[in-house]
Structures are given as C-alpha cells and as structure tokens.
Amino acid sequence: MSDCIFCRIVAGELPCRKVYEDEDVYAFHDIRPAAPVHFMIIPKRHIASLAEAGPADAAVLGKILALAGRLAREQGLEEGFRTIINTGRIGCQEVYHLHVHILGGPEPLGGMLAKHG
C-alpha cells in the first residue's frame, strides 16, 4: 500500500534504524521511543491490524512472536521486555499496519507506557 508508512519503510522509501529483516518480517526502532529500547516487528505483507489477520497469517504471526525474544536480547533486554499490539482506534493503533512493539530498559517500565500507541 503506497500510503502506508510501514510499507514504505519495508520498500526502502523511508529511512529507519533496522533491527532485523528476512523474507517475511521487518524490525526497526520506533521514531518516538517510549522506553530506552523500543522497536517494532512487522510483517512485510500489509495486514492492517490484528483484527484483520486470519488463518493465512498464522505463520508470519508466529514468526514475529518467536523472533521477539531473540531480538530483544540482541538489543540488550536480557532481563525482560514488554510486548504491545495496539489494535484499532479504541486500542490506540496509530499506524494501520500490524506491528508488535518491543519495549524495555534497565528499570521496570511501570506507568511509562500508559499512553503509548
């Protein structure tokens, strides 16, 4: 989708601080981090939100979750991290391309994430 900012990042049209890429998924740092370490993992194929995902998306969704721990550790989050998937307007989703936030840092995140979307 040409108007989707994440599709444009995957296509190399917009810069990002890439964390990981393979044939199915792309991971990059959030431009408005809500924690000392804050990156997102997305499917390369456009899926608007978790509510739009179906059985055909199970493999890529599993791959994203399976990668989360490894990428978090590689980014220095050995003692834990938080995963967030905002879905739809009420779920505070800002970019309508499914994305999994991975957040963490040296201290517990507490209320720091209350308003992040």
Q: Which residues have a catalytic role annotated? A: 99
Task: Locate the DSSP E strands across 1-117.
Answer: 18-21, 25-29, 37-43, 82-84, 100-104
Q: How far is CA 91 from CA 17, 51, 78, in A?
A: 26, 11, 28
